[in-house]
Amino acid sequence: MVSRAFFLVSSHFHLIWRRSYVCCAFLAVPALIFVKKALCSHSIILLMATFLFDRVVFGPVKSRRLGVSLGINLLPGDRKWCSFNCIYCECGWTDEGPYVKEGYPSRALVREELEKKLLAMAADDASPDTITFAGNGEPTLHPDFGGVIDDTVALRGRLAPEALIAVLSNSSTLDDPSVFEALQKVDQNILKIDSARERTVKILNQPGPDFSLERAIGNIARLRGRFILQTLFVRGVYRGVEVDNASPGEVNDWLDLVARLRPGMVMVYTIARDTPSEGLYKVPPGELDDIAARVRLLGLKVQVSY
């Protein structure tokens, strides 16, 4: 077994970068090494080309899609908890768990950390464009997600009234009434569907065994257009299987789905950072522009990020 780790200390960023490979005669797969506790709280651990956020509130950072974004991570700081295991995820591979309530930051801690950060920004005469729930996995898995959203709406109103509240979700938890209700309280309910084809979703996103694309689509349809659809286009090979959700047939099926759901906006983008799986490639800007043009022909707003 061979592992490589590189360490870099920084007082400006609060991320765990991961680069590690477990190698033997039969496999070469990414592996997670937990060494954060050995370093100071202002550290970046370079282990892999993907990264984790080790703070509940992080940034603000300049986002391709959300402007000056103040991030909130409702997942553990040293691993990725998610209902998907996307082969392109910048946070790396999903930890198998178990996912216990004690592993999530408490509602009180999230409220305290967000209030502290917003007050500090206000003291510097600054404000985020967006307060964004993203972080190390699927934010709606948090057992008190609805309460956290209520607290955030209240803090935003008091300390950053111009900021939008956004949630980046993979759409897998909309069966939960509390999640569905909470998502309707935010300004930008950004829901992911990377393909209209179940087989492609299983390759790209690797959802849990209980996930149904049609059920997820049905739940999204219940929002009646009050959401933003995000789709990451990528091509390459994963475990010997070719994947390309930007092929003509894939795009045609996806456009039919977009026309059916009629979201308030569509976000079209491709990978911008290294991925946990090798062999994946960006879709060129010209192809993304062509896809966006076809979305506009449906009478829908579209944002493209390269």
Same-domain status, 246 and 284: yes
Same-domain status, 158 and 270: yes
Domain containing 25 equals 1-52
Nearest CA-CA partner of 205 in 163, 238, 158:
238
Same-domain status, 41 and 63: no
The pTM of the full predicted model, rounded to 2 decimals, is 0.83
Same-domain status, 275 and 153: yes
pLDDT of residue 274: 87
CATH number of the domain encompassing residue 72: 3.20.20.70
Q: At what angle do helices 107-123 and 145-159 cross, to 10 degrees?
A: 20
Same-domain status, 40 and 133: no
Same-domain status, 112 and 21: no
Same-domain status, 129 and 275: yes
Q: Mean pLDDT of successive 10-residue segments in the chain (306 residues)?
A: 30 37 27 30 39 92 86 95 96 90 95 98 95 96 98 98 97 97 97 98 96 97 97 97 98 98 98 92 98 98 95
pLDDT digits (tens, 9 = 90+) for 127-174: 999 999 999 999 999 999 999 999 999 999 999 999 999 999 999 999
Same-domain status, 41 and 83: no
Q: Which residues contact 175 (CB under 8 A, 6 or more apart)?
A: 215, 219
Same-domain status, 17 and 35: yes
What residues pair up with 29 in beta bridges, in sequence order?
22
Question: What span, in angstroms and rounded, lies between the C-alpha atoms of 201 and 249?
Answer: 15
Same-domain status, 78 and 218: yes
Same-domain status, 39 and 186: no
Same-domain status, 159 and 195: yes
β-strands 265-270, 228-238 pairing: parallel
Measure Cα distances from 230 to 161, 170, 174, 270 in Å: 25, 9, 16, 10
pLDDT of residue 49: 60
Domain end call among 30, 52, 74: 52
